Every structure is written in C-alpha cells, then in structure tokens.
Amino acid sequence: MVKYTIKRIIYMIFVFFVMSILLFFLYNKIPGDRAMQEVFPMRERLTPEQFQRLYEQTRMEMGLDDPLVTRYQKWITQVLKLNLGMSERQHRPVIDVVIPPMKITIFINIFAIILALGITIPLGIRTAVRKDSTFDRTVQVLTIVGYSIPTFIVALMFIYIFAVKLRWFPVSGMNTANFTGTGWAWFKDTMHHLALPLTIMTVTSLAGITRYVRAAMADALSMDYIKTARAKGLSEKSVIYSHAWRNALLPVITLIIGWIMSIFSGTFIIESMFSINGMGRLYIDSLNFKDFNVVLAIQMFYVIIGLVGNLIVDLSYGIVDPRVRIDG
C-alpha cells in the first residue's frame, strides 16, 4: 500500500506539471492583448506618445514580451512557492481573490453532498430490495426523466415555481441586503437563500447515483452467498446491509467519490444563475475579463481535486474490500 501510494503521488506530480504546461500555453494563446486591455481606459487622458510608453511599460511589467517558455518558468516557480500572482482585474493577490469564493463553493457543496448521498443511497438500496415492484418502477421512471433534463432547465422550473409563483425563496445572493446578523441568525438567513440552489443541486444528482446504487445492489442480491446467508436464518436487515451492501459498495464507491470530486465544477451553472459569488462565477467572470492568473489558479485547483479524487478511489478499494490488494 505504501509503495503504491508513493508511486501514485509521483504520477500525480507528473500529471500536475503536464496539465500546468498545457493550460498555461492554452490560455496564453487566446487572442487578445491583456496589456492594451489594462491601459485602454487611460487613452483619452494621455497623449499618443505617453499612451504608447505606458503600453510598452505595462507589457514589460506583465512579462508579455518574454518568450512563452520563459513566462511559464516564472509562473510555475511562483506557483510552487504558493505565490499565484496578481489579479489583473482586481489588482489584488490571486490567493486573496480565490479564497473567499472557494470557501463559499466548499460550503455549498458540503451540504449538497450530504443531502444527495443521504437520499440516493437509501433510495437505491430500497429499489434494489423491492426490484420490479410498483415503487421500483416509479423511481426508475422518475430517475430517467431527471437524468434527461439539463441542470439549467431544472433550475428554471424551480425558480418559476418556488420563487416566482410561491415566493418562498429568493433567487440571488447568499444573504439579505444589508443583513448584519451573526451566529444562528446569519446561518438561517444564509440557508434560506441557499435552499433553492441546494435543492436543485440535490435533485439533479439523484438520478445517476440512485440508478447506479440500485444496479450494484440488485447484482449483489442475486449472488449465491446472499441465498446462503438467508438460508442460515440471518435477518433481512443483516443480509442487506452487512452482506449485500458491503459487496455492492466497491463499484459504487468509484461513482460516489468521482461525483464528489466533480460536483465542485458542476456548480458553475448554479452559481451563475443565482448570483452566488463562488468559484464557478469567479471563473466565468475572470475568463470573460481574460484575468488568466485567476483562471489558471482555479483550473489548477480542479486538477488537484481530480488527481486526489482518483487516488482516494484507488485506496478506498482496499479499505472497503480487504480481498482487494493494492500493490506496487
């Protein structure tokens, strides 16, 4: 296990550098002049000669006159020192720009993950246990419908019903305007604003996971060892949760952990639609403004999330099922 983990970490470092090269070169090849974008608002206040000198000085300060390889070397060296550079849009260190939205995104996703797993796993097990019943068929139809509808369509439907018609929830922001409460009052106000986006994120994630859990559980319940366990007189609860679910968990854990890792990027649409200042909205705004230092920082965060997620999936196999050996 230790040898395998070390090998995987070395592999992760290699992939991290490969992705950093690809992303850096990709974003820096996007058409546009960031130096001109920076100085253009001052064009009317300067003479053509002063504007040209300012433009050339800005290009030099931003390193845009250096070869692309040199610019990458400078950037990755600073990244390894946890210095992500300056935001060209907000004129602040990138880490100060990224950390507050990152906290919001993580806060939202923690609740979405807890809600989704708390519903999908019991529902998937229940449908597998009651396979081909009316309940199972109903859930199957609903999950197929839910899986087929895009997230933004579900969001628009929920906004129309619960915000426009019923007026139960607000449709933007995380807190009431000019709200100054703290502690429990702040938490209640925040959750009132997040109730609608969290519900949408939960509903849109139910279909895929429920169907996958059902398939894995149905396969496990059809095995001979389940028949043997029942023949020995074990309770149905013990058969389902101690025997079937333990064996069904191995394929399911790949989906669950992969979904948890991907849900961070899946909030882009929700954050944009509900004006939530999370990573998704910051990423889109920074991309539109060509604030590539911020864009690269967010992109590399998702690369790390993906690499760590894959490692957790592989290591979890040996934890969930001792029969699975992870060797170097």
Contact 151, 143 (CB under 8 A): no
Helix (H) / strand (E) containing 98: helix 94-129
Q: At what angle do helices 134-148 and 183-221 cross, to 10 degrees?
A: 120
Per-domain boundaries in the chain: 2-80, 96-320
pLDDT, one tens digit for every residue, the chain (328 residues): 678 788 888 888 999 999 999 988 888 877 777 777 777 777 777 788 887 888 888 878 777 777 888 888 888 888 888 888 888 778 888 888 888 888 888 888 888 888 888 888 888 888 888 888 888 888 888 888 877 888 888 888 888 998 888 888 888 877 777 777 778 888 888 888 888 888 888 888 777 788 888 888 888 888 888 888 888 888 888 888 887 887 777 777 777 776 666 666 657 778 878 888 888 888 888 888 878 888 888 888 888 888 887 787 777 766 666 555 555 5
CB neighbours of 208 closer than 8 A, spacing ≥ 6? Answer: 143, 147, 255, 259
At residue 18, the pLDDT reads 92
β-pair partners for 93: 86
DSSP codes, 187-210: HHHHHHHHHHHHHHHHHHHHHHHH
Report the CATH superfamily, name and number, of domain 96-320. MetI-like (1.10.3720.10)
Q: What backbone torsions phi and psi does residue 42 show, to the nearest 5 degrees?
A: -95, 5
Helix (H, G, I), strand (E, B) or coil at 86: strand
At residue 91, the pLDDT reads 80
At residue 261, the pLDDT reads 65
Q: What is the DSSP letter of 163?
A: I
- Rounded Cα distance, 146 and 148, in Å: 5
Structure tokens at 29: 């090849």
Structure tokens at 181: 């409460």
Using alpha carbons, select from 157, 259, 149 the residue that is nearest to residue 199: 157
Structure tokens at 316: 């979890």
- Rounded Cα distance, 61 and 229, in Å: 72
Using alpha carbons, select from 265, 295, 33, 304 the residue that is nearest to residue 151: 265
Contact 263, 113 (CB under 8 A): yes
Q: pTM above the 0.85 mark?
A: no
Amino acid symbol at 111: F
Using alpha carbons, select from 66, 65, 47 the residue that is nearest to residue 56: 65
Task: Write the Ramachandran bin of 245: left for phi over 0, alpha for psi from -120 to 50, otherwise beta.
Answer: alpha
Using alpha carbons, select from 284, 280, 270, 276 the residue that is nearest to residue 152: 270
At residue 317, the pLDDT reads 67
At residue 8, the pLDDT reads 83
Task: Report the sign of the C-alpha dihedral through residues 165, 194, 141, 156, in that order.
Answer: positive
